[in-house]
């Protein structure tokens, strides 16, 4: 018991030291020019790319989630694609001038950021948050998920070395080595932490929002993928399979359900089977549900990011050799229908409904149950239907004719590249954006006066007693003319 308490105290003290060091380093960083900040960001991005494969392999080996080659690709995306997206942003000093309206805007770093990192995408999320915090002129202290602590620590070590070698201040990137709930709580409540950037489970995100420290947190995904009758069905199926099997579905925007119009249901089912999908018989589906969910309805961490073969073995069912995806008929939506939940593994629910309008309602029902504000995918060539989905769905991003996992993060679409996807007010988040450096800045606005207080007062109409002789004569003439016109 004493050892446990000592560990908690050591964790709290470590956090205090890391925050203090980051605060001092951030003061030095804040005095640097835009060109110097950009040089540091470029150095960090280059180091992340250089070590992407090794860090991806470490993440897979430590957590057991996903595929090492896909984790490496996510690391490259978090470094290279994010870098290309942010490299030309102005984040230091005057960032906007408006001569016409006599205003200018100044970027102000928030200070020290707390970065909470999940186990599903540990190294890529750490790379992403380090880069956007640095670009905005902030320090950042990471709280790693305990089951991914080793690979996250190594990622921060690599990035810190690159930063210091390029002339950046030591301590800008900090990472807890003694991870406890008490230490993370201290980080979120520290008076010297200006903002929490939280990615992870809904419980942790709620804790960030309730900490009293400003927070940007993201909610769970439960992405429906709608296949409309005008879609290129083989292409849609290929994209969904590629997306859902990428890193074995550890990206929160990955598809969780397929919703097809009834008129094409059999064609869609046949195409999935042709491309490697396997539809579970009802009795086997029930066994898989018990394997991938806990009795309370949460995801079983032992099956997160695992292959279909692994899941089938855990469930005690047989599947065809080489099956890429497991399907279960959705039946309904709600707690009593487990497959309507988010599933961070290559398992999809399958639904159908008559007409796109009813499919639209079904997608909304799925999102309202879980995943409101996150992402929806639609496969269609009917622009009118696509627009209707864009207008009606309670999500922050609609991915069209692309896999949702890499489409939502901006890898296969032109959305802003990000590993932190906001869900907006409907998802109880502070933003609906793909989060980037501009979310980690305050803007100071400098505005010149262009009106006097007297200019704001309503103009007073002159009274007859203040009129001169000529003005009075004209007023009398106008009154006489108006009276004559009325008499006629």
List C-alpha distances in Å: 203 to 72, 106, 200, 370: 28, 36, 8, 14
Residue 378, exposed/middle/buried by CB under 10 A (0-12, 13-18, 19+)? buried
Query: What are the catalytic residues?
Result: 252
Backbone φ and ψ of 236, nearest 5°: -60, -45
In the block, tokens 């089912």 appear at 269
Q: Pairing relation of β-strands 103-109 and 441-447?
A: antiparallel
Question: Could you tell me which residues are beta bridge partners of residue 382?
Answer: none
Closest CA to 63 of 189, 137, 164, 150: 150
Query: ∠ CA(388), CA(394), CA(397), 5° rounding?
Result: 80
Question: Could you tell me which residues are beta bridge partners of residue 139?
Answer: 112
Q: Pairing relation of β-strands 93-98 and 103-109?
A: antiparallel
Closest CA to 122 of 163, 155, 81, 80: 155
Closest CA to 188 of 6, 26, 11: 11
Token readout for 73 is: 């690709």
The alpha carbon of residue 106 and the mean position of all alpha carbons in its chain are separated, in whole angstroms, by 26
């Amino acid at each position: 018991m004493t050892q446990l308490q000592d560990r908690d105290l050591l964790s709290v003290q470590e956090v205090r030291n890391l925050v203090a060091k980051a605060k001092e380093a951030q003061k030095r960083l804040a005095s640097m020019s835009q060109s110097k900040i950009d040089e540091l960001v470029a150095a960090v991005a280059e180091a992340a790319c250089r070590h992407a494969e090794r860090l991806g392999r470490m993440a897979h080996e430590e957590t057991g989630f996903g595929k090492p080659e896909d984790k490496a690709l996510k690391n490259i995306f978090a470094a290279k694609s994010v870098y290309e997206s942010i490299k030309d942003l102005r984040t230091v000093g005057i960032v906007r001038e408006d001569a016409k309206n006599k205003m200018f805007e100044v970027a102000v770093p928030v200070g020290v950021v707390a970065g909470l990192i999940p186990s599903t995408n540990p190294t890529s999320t750490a790379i992403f948050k380090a880069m956007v915090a640095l670009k905005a002129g902030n320090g950042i202290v990471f709280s790693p998920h305990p089951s991914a602590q080793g690979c996250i620590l190594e990622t921060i070590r690599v990035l810190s070395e690159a930063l210091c070698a390029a002339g950046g201040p030591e301590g800008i990137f900090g990472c807890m080595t003694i991870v406890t709930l008490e230490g993370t709580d201290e980080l979120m409540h520290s008076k010297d932490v200006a903002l929490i950037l939280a990615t992870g489970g809904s419980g942790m995100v709620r804790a960030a929002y309730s900490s009293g420290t400003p927070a940007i947190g993201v909610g769970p995904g439960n992405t429906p993928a709608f296949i409309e009758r005008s879609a290129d069905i083989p292409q849609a199926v290929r994209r969904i399979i590629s997306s859902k099997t990428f890193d074995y579905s550890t990206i929160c925007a990955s598809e969780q359900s397929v919703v097809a119009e009834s008129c094409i249901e059999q064609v869609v089912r046949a195409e999935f089977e042709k491309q490697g999908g396997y539809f579970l018989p009802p009795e086997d589906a029930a066994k898989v549900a018990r394997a991938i969910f806990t009795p309370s309805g949460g995801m079983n961490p032992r099956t997160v990011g695992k292959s279909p073969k692994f899941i089938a073995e855990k469930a005690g069912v047989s599947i065809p050799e080489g099956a890429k995806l497991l399907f279960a008929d959705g039946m309904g939506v709600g707690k009593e229908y487990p497959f309507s939940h988010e599933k961070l593994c290559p398992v999809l629910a399958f639904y159908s409904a008559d007409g796109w309008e009813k499919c639209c309602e079904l997608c909304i029902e799925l999102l309202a149950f879980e995943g409101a504000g996150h992402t929806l995918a639609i496969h269609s060539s009917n622009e009118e239907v696509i627009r209707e989905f864009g207008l009606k769905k309670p999500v922050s991003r609609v991915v069209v004719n692309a896999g949702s996992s890499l489409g939502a993060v901006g890898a296969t679409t032109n959305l802003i590249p990000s590993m932190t996807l906001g869900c907006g007010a409907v998802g109880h988040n502070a933003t609906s954006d793909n989060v980037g450096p501009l979310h980690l800045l305050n803007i100071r606005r400098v505005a010149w006066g262009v009106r006097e207080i007297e200019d704001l007062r309503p103009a007073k109409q002159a009274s007859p007693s203040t009129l001169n002789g000529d003005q009075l004569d004209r007023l009398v003439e106008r009154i006489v003319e108006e009276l004559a016109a009325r008499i006629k």
